[in-house]
Amino acid sequence: MVKMKVKAGIKKGIINKNIYGHFAEHLGRCIYEGIWVGKESTIPNINGIRKDVIDALKEMKIPILRWPGGCFADNYHWMEGIGPYEERPSMINTNWGGVTENNHFGTHEFLEFCELIGAEPYISGNLGSGTVREMQQWVEYIASDGDSPMTKLRKKNGREKPWNLKYFAVGNENWGCGGQMRPEYYADEYRRYATYLKDYGDNKLYKIACGANADDYQWTEVLMQNAGKYMDGLSLHYYTMPLDWSLPKGSAVDFNEKEWFDVLKMTLFMEELIEKNIKIMDKYDKDKRIGLIVDEWGAWYQVEPGTNPSFLYQQNTLRDALIAGINLNIFNNNCDRIQMANIAQMINVLQSVILTDEHKMILTPTYHVFKMFSVHQGSELLETELEETYYHYGDDKIAQLSASSSMDSEGKIHISLCNLDPNNEVEINCELVDANTGKISASILTSKEMNARNTFEEPEAVTVKTFTNVELKNNQLYTCIPPKSVVLLTIE
Ligand code: AHR
C-alpha cells in the first residue's frame, strides 16, 4: 500500500490556467482542414472555421492558443494574411513540405477563432526574417485604439475595435529554425525588438523571449543574465523523443513494452529540465517575476505510414494519455514558476487532442486527459507527499506514479494520478490533512491495450469512465489504481 498525503492547509500558489494551453502552426493539416475549411465548405463552419472543432475545444476548456508557429513564425509576414482573400499573396511553406500557403487563415481569422473557442491569443512574432517595424506594427494593428495607418487598415479590413492581446513571443527557436543564433546575439536582438513592442491603452503585453532547446542550460543562463530585465516570460521546448534528433523515432501505435517504458522515461526527463531551468532562473530572478513558458511539448513519433513526412501526422494512444498526465502534473507542481505550457499541436500534428478526416472528427486520449485535468485550471496547488514506488523494466526503473493536487474556488480537492506501470495496479492510502471531506467521486481513462486508440471507425474506444474503486473514511482515502491509467479524484 503506497502512502500519500494531500495537505489542504498548505497552498503553494495558483495553477495558471494557461498551463493547459495549446499550439496551432501552419503545418500539415493543423490550420487548413483541422481548423479552417473556408466559408464555402460543406463541413459545418462559422465564417470558415469548423464548428465541430469549436465545440470540442470549448468543452475541453482551452484557455490559450499559440499561433502561427513554430518554425513557420519566423517566415511569416503578417501583412500577407489580411484583407480580401483574393488579394492575399501566396507563399511557400519552406519548413513544412514546401506546400503553398494561401494566407487565408491570418490575423483576423485567428483572433476570431480565439473568440469563438473562448481562448486567449498568444502570437509568435517573426524575429528571424522579419523587421522590427513589422513586429511593432503587428501589435499596433491588433491592439491599438488610436488613430494611425495601422488602425485605419484594421478598420478597413472589418474590425473596428482593437482586440486584447497580452501574450507575444519575440521569435521562435532562434537557436535553430528561427535564425541559428548564438544566445548572446539573440539576447541583444530580443532587447531591440522588445523595445518597440508597446502597450496601447489598457492592453499590456507579456513579452516572451525564446528559451532553450531542451537541456541547453547555457542558453537559459545567457538569456536570463543579458535580457532577463526586459522579458516577462522565457520559453522552453522539449519533446518526448530522443535528445539527439538524428536518432530514429518510434511508431505512435506499433510498440512493445520496452518502447512504452523508454517513452515514459523520456517524458519524465521534463522534471529534471524544469528543475534545472528554474534553478538558473531563480539565480537571476529570486521573486519569480519571469514565467517559465513551456510552449512546445508532447510526443514526437514517426508519421503515420502513407502520410506526408513533412506533415507530422501521428495517431494518439493510451500511452499519450499518460504522457499528457505526467507532464501536466509536473507543470502543476511547478506552478510558482511555470505560467504557461502549450502542447504541440492541437489538431492533426504531433500529440493532438483532435484528429480530422474530411467531415469526420475524433477526440484522442490526450483530449480526454486535458478535459479531466481542466479542474486544476486556476485552482490552488496543494502540498502533496507521495511514497516512492517504482515500475521496473529489465534492469531499469522509473517512478510508478505521477500526481498533483489542487483546491478549486469552491473548496473541492482534485487529485490527478497516473499509474505508469502497464502490468501492475497500485493500492494507495491517501491522508487528506486539514480537509473537510464529505464525498468522493472519480473518473478514469484506461484500456486493456497499451496502444488503445480512437479511430474514425471506432471513435469511442478510449473514453473517460466513472471510477468506483475509491473509499473515503475519516479523511483517509483508499483506492487501487489499475495498470496504465489516468485517474482524477474529486473530494468535496
Ligand atoms: O512543432 C513542430 C516544430 O517543432 C515547431 O515548428 C518548432 O518550433 C519545433 O522544432
Q: How far apart are CA 98 and CA 94, in angstroms?
A: 5
Active site members: 173, 296
Minimum-distance ligand 1 atom for the alpha carbon of 69: 6
Is 90 exceeded by the pLDDT of residue 388?
Answer: yes
Say how many CA atoms lie within 13 Å of 159 toward its Cβ.
21
Ligand 1 atom index nearest CA of 25: 6
High-pLDDT (> 90) share of the chain, %: 98
166-179 pLDDT per residue, tens: 999 999 999 999 99
pLDDT of residue 94: 96
What pLDDT does residue 443 have? Answer: 98
Confidence of residue 245 (pLDDT cuts 50, 70, 90): confident
175, 164, 170, 229: which is closest to 200 by C-alpha?
164
State the pLDDT at residue 246: 87
Please report which helix (H) or strand (E) contains residue 338, including its range: strand 338-344
Enter the C-alpha cell of residue 233. Answer: 516570460
Regarding the beta carbon of 295 and ligand 1, being less than 6 Å apart is answered no
The pLDDT score that the predictor gives to residue 437 is 85
Could you identify the residue written with the cell 469548423?
A: 50
Mean pLDDT estimate for the chain: 97
Burial class (CB in 10 A: 0-12, 13-18, 19+), 268: middle
Q: What is the rounded CA–CA span in Å between residue 379 and residue 400?
A: 25
Distance 71 CA to ligand 1 centre (A): 6
Residue 388: half-sphere exposure toward Cβ, Cα within 13 Å: 5
Per-residue pLDDT reduced to its tens digit, 23-40 = 999 999 999 999 999 999
Query: Which of the listed residues 26, 67, 173 should we mutate to test ligand 1's pocket, taking the one with most ligand atoms within 8 A of CB?
Result: 173
Name the one residue in this structure whose C-alpha cell is 483530449: 367
CA of 136 to the centre of ligand 1 (A): 24
pLDDT, residue 244, reads 87
Bridge-based pairing state of the strands 440-445 and 401-407 = unpaired
| Residue-level pLDDT at 164 | 98
CB atoms within 10 A of CB 32: 18
| 3 state DSSP class of 249 | coil
The tens digit of pLDDT for each residue in 261-311 reads 999 999 999 999 999 999 999 999 999 999 999 999 999 999 999 999 999
Q: Do residues 411 and 334 make contact, with C-beta atoms less than 8 angstroms apart?
A: no
What is the pLDDT confidence band of residue 348, given thresholds at 50, 70 and 90? very high
Orientation of helix 318-333 relative to helix 365-373, angle to 10°: 30
Q: What is the pLDDT averaged over residues 232-255?
A: 94
Q: Is the CB of 74 under 6 A from ligand 1?
A: no
Mean pLDDT of 245-261: 94
Q: Is 24 in the pocket of ligand 1 (CB under 6 A)?
A: no
Beta strands in 358-475 (DSSP E): 360-363, 380-386, 390-393, 396-399, 401-407, 413-419, 426-433, 440-445, 465-466, 470-473
CB 176 within 8 A of CB 74: no
Q: What is the pLDDT of residues 394-425, one digit of tens each?
A: 999 999 999 999 999 999 999 999 999 999 99
Residue 212: what pLDDT? 98
242 pLDDT tier (thresholds 50, 70, 90)? confident
Residue bearing the CA closest to ligand 1, atom 3: 70
180 Rama sector, left if φ>0, alpha if ψ -120 to 50, beta otherwise: left
Q: What is the pTM of this model?
A: 0.98
Using 50, 70 and 90 to split pLDDT, how confident is the model at 254? very high
